[in-house]
Structure 1
Amino acid sequence: MRIPSTPRRRRAVTAATLAAAVAVLVSACGSGAGAGAAGGDAGSSGKNAGKPFIALSNGFIGNGWRQTMVASFEAAAKQAQQDGLIGKYKAVNAPGDNSATEQIAQIKSLLLQKPDALLIDPSSPTALKPVIQQACTAGVKVVVFDSAIDAPCAHVIQNSFTDWATDAAKPLLDGIGGKGNVIVSRGVVGSQPEAEMYKTTQDILATYPGVKTAATVTGMCDGATAQKAVLGVLSSVPKVDGVIGCGDGYGVAQAFTTAGKPVPAVTFETNGRALNYWKDNRIDNGSVAVMSDPGQSVAALWEALDLLDGKDVPQHMTLPIVLVEQKDRDAWAAVLKPDQYAAWPWTRDLFRQQVEAAKSGGAPVQPPVPTAAG
């Protein structure tokens, strides 16, 4: 399925405001089936009496983006609990390497705890269909995010992976003059987003006859993983002009440095460490930073609450990716800590604006980018 392109108009806010919005705690989120944070059970008394229980099931925790996504949800859910919007919350991360079997077991365990809404970042676009149907049949509102899903009863939020792959490849290929050798670093192979992105990358490469794919590796959209994978092939690739990835460029750059080779054009992560490395080393060769929005988990929280309130929300919505071009790089770098990933600040009001835009067929609402002067 081709996802519509996302327009790039932006509104400016102060760096201090955005810093507060995107600040997340990228800490040890655990990798066991029962790992994650559970909000205090305040559903039995006070302002939280009778308020909903929101659970999040995450199918993979092995990269910084996923850790930021979970932390973003936890921060927003904690605030929602303090505001009396929810009774309790829980986030759990499936063990292993993006295993659908393990996530299915995780979701079944969560359903025994009787959540009112279940948010899912899925490990498979098809394998989770029976357990999602089980949740819907039990009256649980299901919001899937970060991936399409073959489950008609679920609501779906996702980014445009076509846009992500396009913005990761085209500026880089143009930056190297449309010719030379590139390495393609794939993401979480087996997931629906990665399959769509890889196809888009291959389609774009086909339009650049002067570019040769010298190697393909699996970087898992993770700098450390990509560093090892790229370093493993550099000895067999004498010259590399660019590495097309999905937000693993900092690790890729370290691989080239370790091998004693110049850093080519890369696709950087959207975290503070990568953006400051890009800035401090004055890299101007077609590199960009682009990743999907870890704040999708917060948008999914607002959608779940609106569904529980009986509001009309579209079954599918496409939210903007986070693209950091060189002109916006310094502004983002100024408000992100090293392990923080740029995330759109999805307030409930901003999410509802997005809903109205989707209903009217208008352009998706573009959240704000910090100003360099902020």
Structure 2
Amino acid sequence: MRIHHTSRRWRAAAAASLVAAIAVAGSGCGSRSNDGGGSGSGDKPFIALSNGFIGNGWRQTMIAKFEAAATQAQSDGLLGKFKVVNAPGENSATEQVAQIKSLLLQKPDALLIDPASPTALKPVIQQACDAGIKVVVFDSAIDAPCAHVLLNSFKDWATAAAEPLVKGIGGKGTVIVSRGVVGSQPEEEMYKTTQEILAANPEVKVAATVNGMCDGAKAQKAVLGVLSSVPKVDGVIGCGDGYGVAQAFSTAGKPIPALTFETNGRALNYWNDSKLDNGSVAVMSDPGQSVAALWEAIDLLDGKDIPKQLTFPIVLVEQKDLGAWASALKPDEYAAWPWTQDLFRKQVEAVKTGGAPVQPPIPSAAN
């Protein structure tokens, strides 16, 4: 594979100039690297991933999928080495900026970023671009024109989470809204969409708004904390935290309302076994975005023409596919589309031509 990127000699000089401007930060929490023999030299690129938040199962699945794909890409001769660094704390942009500055000093060929903020990372992303590093931001929009962006439609996610639930409760009743990672660009867009849907259904009243962080355990605690003050709840609109919310209602001795389930094995099996038919749905963004971002970085380094922004499909688990997904996932594993390099390139063409999105296969238990 021929790599079309700025020469390593120039990039080394650019990185050296960054040393004077950047205080050397710690390598971050949860750092993992795979040197693939330790050199990462020649035509085999070094790709680093900066993750702004690791505190929920979706992010953990996202990292696991990336590491598995990157390891395979090494074996296939497409990648020299890779490194993953997870920022500590609750989605702190300051911590992630320090993490990225440290990564820049290690001179990766490409940098993948799941960002903690749509705006705060702009200066450090520009520094990466100025050093000749290809930057792919995924799972969020970003205010950084030099970066390529790969994301899911958060409006589609929020719509699929709220509209079936509102319809399932007959367009009237009382709901709790469980918000996601507040402060992130996806959550801001999703919350806005949720508010628009609720405004269009004035007979649905919001009894409480909590911060579930798109995490079942956190949502369970947050919802349990407000149930004593809410006499009746017909539904909980969340961003994939329904299993934990169901436990909160069970603990409080209240009937299980319509829920937005997370797309992990535990939640899907609970939904499948309980046979809830009340407007519940399972929908989340795709943790496999990290794998698609890996293929994008490799193709960008190879000089391929890729649009600056790519929108990839969300993971929506419908009743007809519930059994297949439930049997394929471990309890804490989230549903992820299996993006191969070929499927990634087909989706890029679909984006370019305005064609129908690629529909990857549902993984089997054997995968």
Normalising by structure 2, we get a TM-score of 0.90
In structure 2, what is the equivalent of residue 293 of structure 1? 286
Matches of 2:98 and 2:50, distance apart in 1? 11
Query: Alignment partner for residue 231 of structure 2, among 238, 241, 252?
Result: 238
Q: Could you say what secondary structure the match of 2:33 adopts?
A: coil
Q: Are residues 1:143 and 2:143 paired?
A: no
Between 78-87 and 196-205, the greater mean CA deviation after superposition: 78-87
Answer whether contact 1:43 1:50 (CA < 8 A) is retained. no
Q: What is the 5 A alignment of 1:12-91? A: 33-42=28-37, 44=39, 49-91=42-84
Letter in 2 for 1:172: L
In structure 2, what is the equivalent of residue 248 of structure 1? 241
Matches of 1:131 and 1:56, distance apart in 2? 14
The one-character-per-residue Cα deviations of 1:335-355 (angstroms, maximum 9, x if unpaired) are 111111000010000000011
Query: Alignment partner for residue 204 of structure 1, among 194, 197, 208?
Result: 197
Q: CA RMSD in A?
A: 1.7
Matches of 2:87 and 2:362, distance apart in 1? 33
The one-character-per-residue Cα deviations of 1:278-310 (angstroms, maximum 9, x if unpaired) are 011111111010000000000000000000000
Matches of 1:361 and 1:110, distance apart in 2? 36
In structure 1, what is the equivalent of residue 264 of structure 2? 271
Q: Are residues 1:311 and 2:304 paired?
A: yes
Gaps of 5+ in 1: 1-31
Q: Give the paired residue count.
A: 341
Q: Could you say what secondary structure the match of 2:85 adopts?
A: strand
Answer whether contact 1:59 1:122 (CA < 8 A) is retained. yes
The offset of 1:129, in angstroms, is 0.4
Letter in 2 for 1:40: D
Matches of 1:280 and 1:34, distance apart in 2? 37
The offset of 1:34, in angstroms, is 4.2
In structure 1, what is the equivalent of residue 218 of structure 2? 225
Q: Could you say what secondary structure the match of 2:269 adopts?
A: helix
In structure 2, what is the equivalent of residue 187 of structure 1? 180
In structure 2, what is the equivalent of residue 364 of structure 1? 357
The offset of 1:363, in angstroms, is 2.4
The one-character-per-residue Cα deviations of 1:21-75 (angstroms, maximum 9, x if unpaired) are xxxxxxxxxxx81423201342538xx7541000000000010000000111101
Matches of 1:34 and 1:238, distance apart in 2? 42
Q: Are residues 1:173 and 2:182 paired?
A: no
Q: Are residues 1:324 and 2:317 paired?
A: yes
Q: Could you say what secondary structure the match of 1:35 adopts?
A: strand
Matches of 2:332 and 2:288, distance apart in 1? 15
Q: Are residues 1:100 and 2:96 paired?
A: no
Letter in 2 for 1:193: P
Answer whether contact 2:36 2:74 (CA < 8 A) is retained. no
Q: Could you say what secondary structure the match of 1:37 adopts?
A: strand
Matches of 1:194 and 1:314, distance apart in 2? 24
Matches of 1:265 and 1:150, distance apart in 2? 36
Answer whether contact 1:37 1:74 (CA < 8 A) is retained. no
Letter in 1 for 2:214: C
Q: Percent identity?
A: 80
The one-character-per-residue Cα deviations of 1:99-123 (angstroms, maximum 9, x if unpaired) are 1110000000000000000000000
The offset of 1:188, in angstroms, is 0.3
Letter in 2 for 1:227: Q
Answer whether contact 2:338 2:363 (CA < 8 A) is retained. no
Matches of 2:156 and 2:329, distance apart in 1? 23
Letter in 1 for 2:160: D
Letter in 1 for 2:150: I
Between 298-307 and 333-342, the greater mean CA deviation after superposition: 333-342
Answer whether contact 1:43 1:52 (CA < 8 A) is retained. no
Matches of 2:283 and 2:360, distance apart in 1? 15
Q: Could you say what secondary structure the match of 1:73 adopts?
A: helix
Matches of 1:42 and 1:124, distance apart in 2? 34
Letter in 1 for 2:123: P
The offset of 1:358, in angstroms, is 1.3
Letter in 1 for 2:75: Q
Q: Could you say what secondary structure the match of 2:30 adopts?
A: coil
The offset of 1:356, in angstroms, is 1.0
The one-character-per-residue Cα deviations of 1:103-152 (angstroms, maximum 9, x if unpaired) are 00000000000000000000000110000000000000000000000000
Between 323-332 and 297-306, the greater mean CA deviation after superposition: 323-332
Matches of 1:370 and 1:313, distance apart in 2? 27
Answer whether contact 1:43 1:51 (CA < 8 A) is retained. no
Normalising by structure 1, we get a TM-score of 0.89
Quick one: higher RCO (CA 8 Å, sep 6+), 1 or 2?
A: 1
Q: Are residues 1:164 and 2:160 paired?
A: no
Answer whether contact 1:42 1:49 (CA < 8 A) is retained. no
Answer whether contact 2:212 2:218 (CA < 8 A) is retained. yes
The offset of 1:84, in angstroms, is 1.1
